[in-house]
């Protein structure tokens, strides 16, 4: 049973969640529809959870002096539509009607430039840390609400970043339980690691 914490998506924005507009986005190409959800992971500093750093990265305000690793990434221009924190709280950075810069060089079912037709959802985590039940519950909720708002998004069109950028990306990693998500959504055909 879905655990609804937030309202519906209207005008591309999920009602009730924290919203921090990222400049790292753009308009989708004319005629492009949302047809894919890409699941990612992120932790800043690597392997650490909590704190403002993911939001800072996606809003181009990361303090490069706050951690040695930040010097390497402070100039990146990246974002995602949603971040799901360890406690299940959701932050939205980009309207689902627009293109977030999350996928990079990517391909799905023979189509390149996945940013143009996908929604990017970041889970606060790593390839090797187990994700929380709160994150799975919120991921289910966000995906269901994305499907409701974007009718071209088919039930099984959910992949990991590693599926669209193999060899370049590994997230959401071996710790992500695709069977858990598949069971929650009542669909088959998701990547099963």
Domain 15-185: top CATH class = alpha beta
Residue 193 has pLDDT above 70, yes or no: no
- Taking the model in full, what pTM does it have? 0.97
Residue 70 near residue 193 (C-beta atoms within 8 A): no
Identify the pLDDT of residue 192.
Answer: 58
Angle (CA) 28-70-136 rounded to 5° is 60
SS3 call for 76: coil
CA distances 14 to 44, 135, 141, Å, are 24, 16, 11
Q: What is the rounded average pLDDT for all residues in the chain?
A: 96
Active site residue 122: yes
Task: State the Rg of the chain over Cα.
Answer: 15
DSSP 152: T
**Chain segment 20-61, per-residue pLDDT in tens:** 999 999 999 999 999 999 999 999 999 999 999 999 999 999
**Chain segment 121-177, per-residue pLDDT in tens:** 999 999 999 999 999 999 999 999 999 999 999 999 999 999 999 999 999 999 999
Of 122, 124, 140, 141, the active-site residue reads: 122
Residue 3 has pLDDT above 90, yes or no: no
For the chain, what are the domain ranges? Answer: 15-185
Residue 24 near residue 60 (C-beta atoms within 8 A): yes
Beta strand extents in 94-148 (DSSP E only): 98-100, 107-108, 111-112, 118-124
* Backbone torsion region of residue 104, taken as left when φ is above 0, otherwise alpha when ψ lies between -120 and 50, otherwise beta: left
**Chain segment 78-113, per-residue pLDDT in tens:** 999 999 999 999 999 999 999 999 999 999 999 999
Neighbouring-strand partners of residue 41: 123
Residue 114 backbone phi and psi in degrees, to 5: -60, -25
Instruction: Give which of 79, 191, 175, 72 is closest to 130, Cα–Cα.
Output: 175
């Amino acid at each position: 049973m879905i655990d609804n914490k937030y309202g519906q998506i209207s005008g591309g924005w999920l009602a009730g969640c924290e919203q921090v507009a990222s400049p790292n986005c753009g308009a989708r190409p004319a005629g492009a529809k949302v047809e894919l959800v890409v699941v990612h992971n992120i932790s800043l500093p690597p392997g650490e959870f909590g704190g403002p750093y993911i939001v800072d990265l996606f809003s181009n305000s990361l303090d490069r002096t706050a951690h040695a690793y930040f010097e390497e990434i402070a100039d990146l221009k990246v974002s995602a539509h949603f971040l799901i924190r360890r406690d299940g709280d959701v932050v939205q950075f980009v309207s689902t009607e627009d293109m977030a810069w999350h996928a990079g060089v990517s391909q799905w079912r023979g189509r390149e430039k996945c940013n143009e037709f996908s929604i990017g959802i970041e889970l606060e985590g790593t390839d090797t840390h187990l994700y929380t039940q709160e994150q799975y519950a919120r991921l289910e909720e966000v995906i269901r609400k994305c499907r409701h708002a974007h009718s071209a998004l088919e039930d099984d069109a959910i992949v990991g970043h590693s599926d669209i950028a193999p060899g370049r990306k590994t997230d959401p990693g071996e710790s992500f339980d695709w069977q858990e998500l598949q069971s929650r959504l009542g669909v088959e055909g998701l990547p099963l690691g």
